[in-house]
């Protein structure tokens, strides 16, 4: 697999040249052609070029094949196979994002409960009679309570957006215009 010229000057076409259609697919995948996984190198190539394209621009993928290979049934099924692959990857990332938010909600619930317990216990032990020891324990519990909220805040503030961005990219690739061109 070799790039022909990468994205076009308009910034929306990814061009790939291969000698045979199976070069684009994982040969160890036991499923029929239209449901097969793309080869890891082919996926990485397409995804890396797609990241370079303007965000709002529709994506086109042109696969250049030798004339005899471009006329095969495998070549005719190539657009559906590539779109199907990226559709499945986008769905997998949607499921991953849903799972991350589920874990975030559970972590947030646990964190709030731990914070409430720590604040309650800190309020009970921070009595004036136990000035230094009670104050130290109360501060420790307060810190523990806020640390319990660390992971849910990390999920809701930072962890989700790279997954959502990757999903958007795969959704764009799933709707890409894909064509096969015969080149000598």
Residues 145 and 84 in one domain: no
Instruction: Examine the domain organization and report whether 86 and 130 are in the same domain.
Output: no
130: which strand partners? none
Rounded percentage of the chain residues whose pLDDT exceeds 70: 86
141 and 54 in a common domain: no
User: 124-149: per-residue pLDDT in tens?
Assistant: 876 666 667 777 788 888 899 999 99
Asked whether residue 37 falls in the same domain as residue 54, the answer is: yes
What is residue 176's predicted lDDT score, i.e. its pLDDT?
95
What span, in angstroms and rounded, lies between the C-alpha atoms of 160 and 180? 36
What pLDDT is attached to residue 11?
A: 59
DSSP 24: G
Alpha helices of the chain — where are they, by DSSP H?
A: 40-52, 67-70, 73-125, 131-147, 150-154, 160-174
Residues paired with residue 64 on neighbouring β-strands, in sequence order = 17, 181
pTM, full prediction: 0.80
Pairwise CA distance, residues 161 & 174, whole Å: 20
The per-residue pLDDT for range 15-45, each reduced to its tens digit, is: 999 999 988 887 765 555 555 689 999 999 9
Same-domain check for residues 13 and 86: yes
C-alpha 42/C-alpha 89 separation (Å) is 14
Q: Are residues 24 and 78 in the same domain?
A: yes
pLDDT at 4 > cutoff 60: no
Give the SS3 label for residue 48. helix
Domain membership of residue 17 as a residue range: 2-93+172-182
- Count of domains observed in the chain: 2
Q: Are the C-beta atoms of residues 58 and 177 closer than 8 Å to each other?
A: yes
Q: Are residues 66 and 157 in the same domain?
A: no
pLDDT tens profile 29-88: 555 555 568 999 999 999 999 999 988 889 999 999 999 999 998 899 999 999 999 999
Same domain for 11 and 65, yes or no, is yes
* Claim to verify: residue 104 and residue 55 sit in the same structural domain: no
What CA–CA distance (Å, rounded) separates 36 from 30?
7
Look up residue 25 and give its DSSP letter: B
Q: Tell me: do 32 and 69 sit in the same domain.
A: yes
Q: Are residues 102 and 14 in the same domain?
A: no
């Amino acid at each position: 697999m070799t790039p022909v010229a990468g994205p076009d000057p308009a910034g929306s076409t990814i061009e790939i040249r291969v000698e045979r259609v199976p070069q684009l697919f994982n040969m160890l995948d036991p499923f029929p052609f239209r449901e097969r996984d793309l080869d890891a190198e082919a996926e990485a190539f397409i995804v890396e070029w797609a990241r370079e394209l303007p965000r709002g621009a529709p994506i086109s993928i042109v696969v250049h094949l030798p004339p005899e290979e471009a006329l095969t049934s495998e070549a005719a099924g190539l657009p559906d196979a590539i779109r199907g692959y990226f559709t499945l990857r986008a769905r997998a990332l949607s499921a991953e994002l849903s799972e991350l938010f589920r874990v975030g909600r559970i972590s947030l619930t646990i964190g709030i409960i731990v914070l409430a317990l720590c604040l309650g216990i800190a309020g009970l032990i921070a009595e004036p009679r136990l000035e230094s020891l009670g104050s130290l324990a109360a501060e420790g519990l307060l810190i523990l309570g806020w640390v319990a909220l660390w992971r849910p805040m990390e999920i809701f503030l930072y962890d989700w957006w790279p997954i959502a961005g990757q999903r958007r990219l795969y959704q764009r690739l799933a709707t890409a215009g894909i064509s096969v061109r015969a080149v000598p």
